[in-house]
Amino acid sequence: MADTAVTIELEHLTKTYAGVAAPAVDDVSMTIPAGELVVFLGPSGCGKTTTMKMINRLIEPTSGVIRIGGEDVLGTDPVELRRRIGYVIQSIGLFPHMTIADNIASVPKMLGWPKARITGRVEELLTLVGLDPATFARRFPRQLSGGQQQRVGVARALAADPPVLLMDEPFGATDPITRLRLQREFRRLQQDLGKTVIFVTHDFDEALVLGDRIAVLAERSRIAQYAAPLALLANPADDYVRSFTGNSTHVRLLGILTADTAADPGVIGHGAEPELTTAATLRDVTELLLAGHATVAVLDQTGTRLGGADFTTVRRAVAAAQAQARPAEETDADADSDADADSVSDTEIPA
């Protein structure tokens, strides 16, 4: 499926709403690389939704150019365009009178897929997002929890296998625990699917967990910084970006580094040792260590133990990532980064 990934290019994109003097989005240019998940991070009202809705033409730009896979979006039939762009929003927008299966099938039906293919696709997608088809296909949206409905929203957006997904604060309406679970599930899913995804959020932690790159947006969607999570953490461009990244760099790093970065074959487990796969993050490792386990086993996909992780190896992994992400002229501040890393075990880890 990943072979369908496409690049999205925005060139001098501007939107001025009728009757409003100042533009809501002002001269935004950026490239979203094929197959990557790019987060638009910014405060409420900065123009994130407006920017996103111009890409699937739910809002018409005042000026500028949008290209998807090299094709000029503004010269395409909007209905045809939206079939190639999955869209997930905070309010989910499931059709309440339709079953889960029919909700997911809505675009394939519109496209005239044969019945058997639709049925197969619905089952495949429900399984993909962790919902048992036998249990959920015939239910109605109101019979599902918020988190389950969000999973259906994602499944529906994926139904016709669009190369592009636009997600506008999709997990915002769920409780913090469900939200964390959805983020992790979606990260794993995206690693397999390789879609080009734009994901809007105002939550920096969410941006760190999900983003291949993060665009920190200021007023009128001005791009304050556009960089990979580690680069953003290590080198915030200005005070505005710093207001998102804060000072607790190492805590943030825990949420994005994977468990294998702290796996050391020399760390031997004693007795009942909890196990994590390489898809887990250092935050997952730290939570288990804080719960009282001396070591955590990190397993590869085949179940083989890559090594053990403990507070020392976690600190080492975080310090290494910080050093790597720093520009060359600053890497001699190693003592500093060690001091930072040493406080990891004492730091409260958000759930």
Helix-helix angle 249-256:311-325, to 10 degrees: 100
Look-up of token digits 């997952």: 284
Q: Which is nearer to ligand ADP, 42 or 61 (CB)?
A: 42
Which stretches does DSSP call E strand in 111-268?
164-168, 196-201, 213-217, 223-227
**Beta carbon nearer to Mg ion, 125 or 167:** 167
93-to-43, 49, 153 alpha-carbon distances in Å: 23, 16, 8
CB of 9 to ligand ADP, least distance (A): 20
Q: Are 69 and 134 in contact (CB under 8 A)?
A: no
Q: E-strand spans in 185-295?
A: 196-201, 213-217, 223-227, 275-277
Could you give the string, one character per residue 163-202, with x where binding to ligand ADP holds by CB under 6 A and - elsewhere? ----------------------------------------
85: DSSP letter:
E
Minimum CB separation of residue 351 from Mg ion in Å reads 25
Strand partners, 10: 30, 66
- The listed partner (Mg ion, ligand ADP, none) that binds 50, CB under 5 to 8 Å by sort, is ligand ADP
Contacts of ligand ADP in 2-21 (CB under 6 A): 17, 20
**Interaction between residue 103 and Mg ion (CB under 5 A):** no
Question: Is residue 56 a contact residue for Mg ion (CB under 5 A)?
Answer: no
CB nearer Mg ion, residue 49 or residue 149: 49
265 binds ligand ADP (CB under 6 A): no
Chain center to CA of 257: 14
Q: Which of 32, 37, 39, 50 binds ligand ADP (CB under 6 A)?
A: 50
Applying CB under 6 A, among 24, 73, 85, 193 the residue interacting with ligand ADP is 24
User: Rounded to an integer, what distance in angstroms lies between the CA atom of residue 101 and that of residue 125?
Assistant: 10
Using alpha carbons only, give the angle 183, 185, 189 rounded to the nearest 5 degrees.
115
167 vs 321 by CB, closer to ligand ADP? 167
Q: Is 45 in the site for ligand ADP (CB under 6 A)?
A: yes
Q: Which residues bind ligand ADP (CB under 6 A)?
A: 17, 20, 24, 42, 44-50
Q: Which residues bind Mg ion (CB under 5 A)?
A: 49
